[in-house]
Amino acid sequence: MVLLLLPRLASAQAPGPRWHSALDSLQALERLPQSDSSRVQLLCRISDQLWASDTEAAAAYSRRALALARRTHNRAGEGAALNRLGAALRESNLARALELFQESLRLGRELRDTTLQAQNLRSIGIIYVYLRDRQLGLSYYFEGLRLDSLLGDERRIAVDLSNIGLAYDLYDELDSAAYYQQRAYQLAQRLHASTNYILYGLGNVARKQGHFAEAREYYRRSVVESKRRRHLRSLNFSYLGLAALYQQQQQSDSSIYYARLGAQAARQNGFLRGVLNASVLLTQDFAQRGQLDSAFRYQKLLVTMKDTLFGQEKVMRLQNVDYLERQRAQEAIVAQQAIHNRYQTYGLLVGLAGLGLLLALRLRHGRRMQRTNAALQASLADLKQAQLMLVQREKMAFLGEMTAGVAHELQNPLSFVKRFAEVSTELVDEINGAQQLARDGNLERDILDGLKQNLLNISQHGQRATAIIKGMLEHARTGQAPRELTDLNELARQQLELAYAGTQQQFPGFVAEVRTELEPALPAAAVVAQDLGRVLLNLCTNALYAVRQRQQRAEVGYVPTVTIGSGRLPDGRLHLWVRDNGAGIAPEVLPRIFEPFFTTKPVGEGTGLGLSLSHDIVVNGHQGQLEVTSRPGEGTEFRLTLPAS
């Protein structure tokens, strides 16, 4: 009776002290003698209470409940424990969580437990929403809503409506998101149920619609309720909602403050996705402020969290869970058929005699095995295709997040273009006014010089924005051009000449010594000539830039020199190199040279995408290697190695 009277976290309405009282009461009750079935239910309740504040402790209690339920053959308790363990593991092991939810759902269907079925449908829907699978995620949500409606469980219906609203918000379908969140809010208000997640969802809709004051109020109300309920997960969502709001209003200090609070709440709860979302916002904020060290530190954390949650192997395993579930059902049918076939074979062996009849049975079995093998091969082909599509989907999702970050990079040059254009307009107005009052040659000349300088600045920052966009488009390419036999020596010579001509055009009067050390007998290689040419052109341009920078120091006897060469290694691999006698690269910078957006050039002179793109073309596009060695004060050498044909 005590267990039946203790509220679950999802429906608890008391402030902070009562939350502690409920958890303390449950843990105190655990020390009292009771039946095994009551203890399983109690352990699940404790896990549910801890889920919002300490996922590791929640997982430990749910494992104890699962072990006890299985030992005592408590099928209903096993289903409940599987669901709570899946909820606790959802952030650290998404694939395992999905397996646990599906196993719990099967038990619910076997036991005809509608409540357990609805709970698992909602849990599975959350995972597919995480994976941006709109159709599948919403189908699980609406099925869970249907079952809760049949049960008449209005508190769960409010949760279902809010989840559906959050899903539509994720897909930027704001009208649908607002509709379901308003329904959830009205129902929760009538029931005096928790509204912390619903307020966050309403805040998101208001923010995306541009109603910033209304959004801020919703988020702050969600923060207050989340703190009162000690609900760290919804507290993370609310803080990150405020951070996104202030970022959208260009208030980076406030955005950073709330993003850090959100990250802190997520870490305390073990909520990896919350840490990932906070890292995205912090990376964007620090990049916009020009604090590149902080931006790269959070970008590194972002990549680590993303790999933990969505590494390629984890994504493939996660998406295979449903496939394995269908395979398991098919195997059960095949097993039943196998038993039937076995008895049939025994009957034939008893009823029939002779080597001829036995041979006929063997032939029949062989044909059946062939058909089975063909069916398995077809299933394997379907699985591989599904894996390929899922990896591509994750790649595109990551590209979308990365592109959103680059938008902040583009704002700087575009804001400069706008500013210089406005100043130029004022200068034109000023010279017109000056001409009407008195003809002053010196004044006109000063104004025209300023106007010319503004136009040069507009051109420079426009080219900067173009370079960023071009680099992102190169990173976003998903196709692969056909390979063809190419003369690497001629390709290297052409790219060195193009780079030298381009540098001289950019810096009139610049002269350097360019050399070639190309092996005459180098065989033709099957490469994508256009992509490899882009790599060599980028390396040569960087080398010429480096020697020009050193030349400007006016060192006595210094001759700027860039050399490109080719050769063949003993194992048959081909290699090209670009060497310069510039200032070299500092040792602490060298390990990061191929990172996206990292550049050693001054602000405005490089996008930080050239070497990253070159590395991707060589390593991923040609299965080769791109390495760099440098000696500060002496020069740098980039070495490109291609596999043997």
Task: Over range 201-227, report the average pLDDT.
Answer: 93
Percent of the chain's residues with pLDDT above 90: 38
Assess contact for 541 and 502: CB atoms under 8 A: yes
Task: Over range 244-253, report the average pLDDT.
Answer: 91
> Which of 55-64, 146-155, 585-594, 603-612 shows the lowest per-residue confidence on average (mean pLDDT)?
603-612
Model confidence at 166, pLDDT cuts 50, 70, 90, reads: very high
Position with higher pLDDT, 186 vs 357: 186
> Which of 75-84, 137-146, 171-180, 381-390 shows the lowest per-residue confidence on average (mean pLDDT)?
381-390
Six-digit token pair at 140?
A: 């699980």
Model confidence at 392, pLDDT cuts 50, 70, 90, reads: low
pLDDT in the model for residue 471: 58
> Which of 70-74, 341-345, 400-404 shows the lowest per-residue confidence on average (mean pLDDT)?
400-404
First-to-last CA distance in the chain? Answer: 76
Position with higher pLDDT, 225 vs 359: 225
User: For 399-423, what is each residue's pLDDT tens digit?
Assistant: 555 565 565 566 556 666 776 677 7
Task: Over range 137-155, report the average pLDDT.
Answer: 92
pLDDT in the model for residue 27: 79
Assess contact for 573 and 642: CB atoms under 8 A: yes
Helix and strand numbers (H, E) in the chain are 23, 7
User: For 513-559, what is each residue's pLDDT tens digit?
Assistant: 999 999 998 999 989 888 899 899 999 999 999 999 999 888 888 99
pLDDT in the model for residue 251: 92
Position with higher pLDDT, 378 vs 68: 68
Would you say residue 603 has pLDDT above 70?
no
Model confidence at 5, pLDDT cuts 50, 70, 90, reads: very low
Highest mean pLDDT among 8-22, 88-102, 500-514: 500-514
pLDDT in the model for residue 502: 87
3-state secondary structure of 586: coil
pLDDT in the model for residue 7: 33
Would you say residue 14 has pLDDT above 60?
no
pLDDT in the model for residue 215: 93
Percent of the chain's residues with pLDDT above 70: 75
Q: What is the 3-state secondary structure (H, E, C) of 224-270?
A: HHHHHCCCHHHHHHHHHHHHHHHHHCCCHHHHHHHHHHHHHHHHHHC
* DSSP at 590: G
Angle between helices 252-269 and 272-289 (to 10 degrees): 160
Six-digit token pair at 460?
A: 């420079």
Angle between helices 174-191 and 154-170 (to 10 degrees): 160
Assess contact for 142 and 129: CB atoms under 8 A: no
pLDDT in the model for residue 464: 63
Task: Over range 44-66, report the average pLDDT.
Answer: 88
Model confidence at 600, pLDDT cuts 50, 70, 90, reads: low
Would you say residue 16 has pLDDT above 60?
no
3-state secondary structure of 555: coil
Six-digit token pair at 69?
A: 């339920």
Task: Over range 109-114, report the average pLDDT.
Answer: 93
Model confidence at 10, pLDDT cuts 50, 70, 90, reads: very low
For residue 502, the tally of other CB atoms under 10 A from its CB is 14
Model confidence at 329, pLDDT cuts 50, 70, 90, reads: very low
- Cα–Cα distance, 637 to 551 (Å, whole number): 18
pLDDT in the model for residue 419: 66
Six-digit token pair at 358?
A: 């036995």
Six-digit token pair at 400?
A: 């979308």
pLDDT in the model for residue 13: 36
Position with higher pLDDT, 518 vs 621: 518
What pTM was estimated for this model as a whole?
A: 0.48
User: For 276-311, what is each residue's pLDDT tens digit?
Assistant: 888 888 888 888 888 877 776 777 776 766 666 655
- Cα–Cα distance, 344 to 349 (Å, whole number): 9
Query: What is the DSSP annotation of 467-524?
Result: HHHHHHHHHH----PPPEEE-HHHHHHHHHHHHHHHHHHHSTT---EEEEE--TTPPP
Cα-Cα-Cα-Cα dihedral sign, residues 519, 525, 528, 529: positive
Query: What is the DSSP annotation of 541-599?
Result: HHHHHHHHHHHTT--TT---EEEEEEEE-TTS-EEEEEEE-SS---TTTGGGTTSTT--
pLDDT in the model for residue 152: 92
> Which of 155-164, 282-291, 602-611, 633-642 shows the lowest per-residue confidence on average (mean pLDDT)?
602-611
pLDDT in the model for residue 15: 40
pLDDT in the model for residue 69: 93
> Which of 138-147, 189-198, 227-236, 254-263 shows the lowest per-residue confidence on average (mean pLDDT)?
227-236
pLDDT in the model for residue 4: 28
Would you say residue 386 has pLDDT above 80?
no
Would you say residue 327 has pLDDT above 70?
no
Would you say residue 2 has pLDDT above 50?
no
- Cα–Cα distance, 585 to 631 (Å, whole number): 7
pLDDT in the model for residue 200: 93
Position with higher pLDDT, 481 vs 372: 372
Tell me the pLDDT of the chain averaged across its residues.
Answer: 80
User: For 439-497, what is each residue's pLDDT tens digit?
Assistant: 566 777 777 777 777 787 777 667 766 766 665 555 555 445 678 899 999 999 999 99
Task: Over range 79-105, report the average pLDDT.
Answer: 88
